[in-house]
Structure 1
Amino acid sequence: MELVAGCYEQVLLGFATRPGQSWTVVPDFTHHAHSASLSAVAVNNRYVVTGSRDETIQIYDMKKRIEHGALLQHNGTITCLEFYGTAHLLSGAEDGLICIWNTKRWECLKSIKAHKGHVTSLSIHPSGKLALSVGTDKTLRTWNLVEGRSAFIKNLKQNAHIIKWSPDGEKYVTVITNKVDIYSLDTASITGTITTEKRISSLRFITDSILAIAGDDEMIRFYSCDSQKCLCEFKAHENRIKDIFSFEREGQYVIVTASSDGYIKMWNLDLDKIKDGPSLLCEVNTKARLTCLAVWLDRASEMKENSDKTATSCQETEDEKSSIARIDKDFWTTKRVKIARRKRKIIPGKQKLEAPVQKKKKKQNNSA
């Protein structure tokens, strides 16, 4: 298991984590990934991808421990990245585009002009048939990934900066400043609203009905989607929290948090004792100004990521499975996709991930 975090210092940080009775986390690598601060990070079972203000997406092969290359399709800061399973990646940026990538050959299958302003957030439905996006044009847009076209546009009163599907795909949430609106998929209408005192910086579904919310303070709060009541709140850091990640391991819910105080912390959450709050498993001081966070799980069969990023997060019916199969046949391989492939820009790279900076300094001191 590897904690990967981006920061203002243009570096991708990696920390090896070993579960057990006493969890440990140690620096594993540092990589000067970009020429500007990192703005987004995403993982699947093999790759870590990072987006930056330098307008590029960098790819890292975690199994081979090498830099795999760069994607240069966007103009503007990369604002959001999300994998769908092992085969596809969606990226959004300030240029208003959403790009769909094949992760086998790293080809841009389609580039969609999604918003008149910036794309601020996107989320893929667990079935892979739909995606949602929000932007600075005050719209929420639904995308039909089977046909590769816009399905629905909803006007919002303000710009939303976060959107997420629930793991079961039956609801989704939007975040506007300090307000979370909960929508039902069936009716596409708001079923509840959660309001916090501070601006919300990160949000994560722990289960289908429990949300973890962090904002511009030191607190993490767990809310019920059904009652919109706060189930628990606790002080997690000494400064505002930048990102939250969560996954399930052998029935254990693990919450990972990154803060402006430079710390990454891992927490164990017992849902039966959620009112007591989570217990701290381990922490590490990165000594960096963190911006984004993800966890690369190298044993996918043993550790199931609790998020809306993979098809395995919900029980598919046979009809849904056939619909997913049609994505490859009806959309990813059409003529317009082949045209889009010619427009792709990929810079290959095979640079190995570097050892941590701390280790380098020690060697220099010893040689001196």
Structure 2
Amino acid sequence: MATKTAPGPISGKRKREESHTNAAETKRPAVGPEAKVTFKDAADSSAKPSLVQRTGSAKAPARPETVFPTNAGTLASETNGSSAPAPLASTIESHDGDIHLQLVTGSYERVLHGISAKIPRKLLRTKPASDQDVEGPSTDADNAVRFSNTFLFAAHASSIRCLAISPSTESDKRYLATGSSDERTNVYSISTAPSTHNHQVDLPSLASTSSTSENPRNRSLGSLIHHDRAITRLEFPAKGKLFSAVEDNTIAISRTRDWTVLSSIKAPIPKPQGRPSGDTAAPGETPAGVNDFAIHPSQKLMLSVGRGERCLRLWNLMTGKKAGVLNFDRSLLSQAGEGKYSSGEGRQVLWTAAGDAYIVGFERGAAVFGIDSRPKALITPSPITKLHQFRMVPPVGQAGSGELVAISTEDGRILFFRVDATVSADGKDKLPPCTCVAQLGGAEAGIGGRIKDFEVLTLQVEEPPAPPMLVIITASSDGAIRLWCVAGLGSVSAEGGAPQQVGSLLGTLETGSRITCLGAFVLDGKAVGSVADEAEEAETGANENSEGSENE
């Protein structure tokens, strides 16, 4: 009869070898784009995973190792749940010789392009806004804007339709989110510190600039996959929340701490009313999708406009439910340039800085509404052209001069309208027009291409008694990025109904891509490669080594 022999005891040497092997396998993170760990919604364990390409567990996410393809580097992920409203522009007080800006563009070619712009202080000279200075950038190398590539890679499987950058906080990094037609939202961590010469390398580039300024703090955090339609709009009202809108009339609210979906707002699908020309809906489907949304400065209300419907929807963000619907009157649409065969849908919507009025943009015009949802005034460009992007201009002029809204056009202009018209007696009567006080670019500046997107930044170049200056970054569909300096915009006044030409061109960069969206902010953090930064990295490395020795 065969006798079974019990396995002998494991020696101490074998135990130590197995423990080292298991520890190494546990510590080893998945690196590169192939590393995929699925996170599910905490509320429903059977829900679709909301985040991929992350490492660690859902409760305590580990340090991700997926980095930008063109600038490898790692930085631990940190979040800040601040509920402060997002500022309209970045304001800094720089006392050194140069000012650094971080530009990010998306394009039809799926390319996510990060650009660092170094502006000498001499170029940001205070000039009256009435001076028609549309000359090109200075040829002197010391007085010219220097561009360098921060990252450049194909971020999505389809064209990039929108992007958003989180507001400025005490942290030394911001979040960058990009949305595409491939139903994914990529999330990145962008450093707010400018790179030094120690990190500049020469790498191949598709852009006109050959220099590359690598920042090791920039990294990829993964992809959100909780949507099943193309993403149309992204916004960070605070660093702790991300709002994303898609073509199925859904607006999702995600938490940046663990990237879980907190709530989802669903608007009804509009009823089919014919197939207008240019409709891109699939056969048998109805044109649908959120074109744009705007969050009130108090972060308690939200406005949204969608495709295929001639109305504006108001949402209560405290409850996540609909608060009202405002149908656009036929007379209002006619005055705003929406003819009989136009769609009549709102393309853009935004609140004023004070939150007491909002603007609804159509294809060739816009309407200003009061807090009581009654139309106040009309915004119509002259000559009539298609409108693309709307931005509120921070108040930098004289007190009581009124709020300004900047609008980019199809013919290469940025028009500044004063939003200070009085409320009309009847909403059906002819509304008063808003005054166009200034114009940037256009045929007078030798620019005729479409300005798809732009950003407005505020810089305090001189001492506080001096007024701040505006730096406007424009992105055209032909791939050109232009930096403009505008001073004294709040004090201009239109004489005889003709807007004044303002701004001076600081620099131009040809990216070679058809740009669809743009984001920009001031690099005002601690410089990479500084003595304090090196000491911090050395201390972090020493702590990691000590932890590793303790684990062994």
Would you call these one fold, judging by a TM-score over 0.5?
yes
Equivalent pair of 1:121/1:163 in contact (CA under 8 Å): yes
d(CA) in 2 for partners of 1:238 and 1:38? 24
Structure 2 residue 350 is matched with structure 1 residue 164: yes
- In 1: Cα distance, 2:369 partner to 2:438 partner: 22
* Residue 13 in structure 1 maps to residue 80 in structure 2: no
Corresponding residue for 2:302?
A: 131
Secondary structure of the 1:167 match is coil
Gaps of 5+ in 2: 1-100, 124-144, 169-173, 192-216, 270-287, 330-343, 396-402, 422-433, 461-467, 493-499, 527-552
Q: Distance in 1 between matches of 2:508 and 2:354?
A: 30
- Structure 2 residue identity aligned to 1:160: G
Amino acid at match of 1:98: I
1:71 corresponding residue in structure 2: 224
Question: Which structure features the higher share of strand residues?
Answer: 1
Q: In structure 2, what is the equivalent of residue 249 of structure 1?
A: 459
1:176 aligned to which of 362, 367, 383: 362
What's the CA shift for 1:156? 2.6
Higher mean displacement: 143-152 or 32-41: 143-152
| TM-score normalised to structure 1 length | 0.77
Q: CA deviation at 1:273?
A: 5.9
CA RMSD of aligned residues (A): 1.8
Distance 1:153 1:261, change over 3 A: same
Q: Using the alignment, how far apart are the partners of 2:449 and 2:439 within structure 1?
A: 15
Aligned positions of 1:282-297 closer than 5 A: 282-297=507-522
Contact 2:440-2:501 at 8 Å conserved across structures? no
TM value normalised by structure 2: 0.52
Post-superposition Cα deviations, 1:225-265, rounded to whole Å, max 9, x if no partner, equal 12511112243533111012112121221211100121111
Percent of aligned positions that are identical:
32
Residue of 259, 263, 276 corresponding to 1:106: 259
Deviation at 1:281, TM superposition (A): 2.1
Q: What secondary structure is seen at the aligned counterpart in 2 of 1:19?
A: strand
Is 1:141 the equivalent of 2:313?
A: yes
Aligned to 1:280: 505
- Structure 1's unaligned 5+ residue stretches are 302-368
| Mapping 1:172-251, distance limit 5 Å | 172-185=358-371, 187-196=372-381, 197-207=384-394, 209-227=403-421, 228-236=434-442, 237-250=447-460, 251=468
The aligned residue for residue 151 of structure 2 is 29
Checking the alignment, whether the CA contact within 8 Å between 2:394 and 2:458 is kept in structure 1 is no
Larger Rg computed on CA atoms? 2
User: 1:151 corresponds to which letter in structure 2?
Assistant: A
The reply on whether 1:43 has 2:165 as its aligned counterpart is: yes
8 Å Cα contact 2:314/2:325 also seen in 1: yes
Letter in 1 for 2:106: G
The 1-side partners of 2:473 and 2:361 are apart by: 20
Query: Which gives a bigger RCO, structure 1 or 2 (Cα 8 Å, sep 6+)?
Result: 1
Matched positions, count: 300
Contact 1:48 1:296 survives alignment (8 Å): no
The 2-side partners of 1:254 and 1:188 are apart by: 33
Instruction: Determine the C-alpha separation between the residues in 1 that align with 2:516 and 2:159.
Output: 8
Aligned residues of 1:16 and 1:25 also touching (Cα < 8 A):
yes
Distance 1:207 1:66 in 2: 31
Find the partner of 1:119 among 290, 313, 325.
290
Output the amino acid matched with 1:222: F
How far off is 1:98 after superposition?
A: 0.2
Q: Is the 8 A contact 1:212 1:221 kept in 2?
A: yes
Q: Distance in 1 between matches of 2:365 and 2:345?
A: 11
What is the CA distance between 1:114 and its match in structure 2? 2.4
Return the alpha-carbon distance in structure 2 between the equivalents of residues 242 and 103 of structure 1.
28
Equivalent position of 2:96 in the other structure? none
Distance in 2 (CA, whole Å) between partners of 1:20 and 1:125 is 36
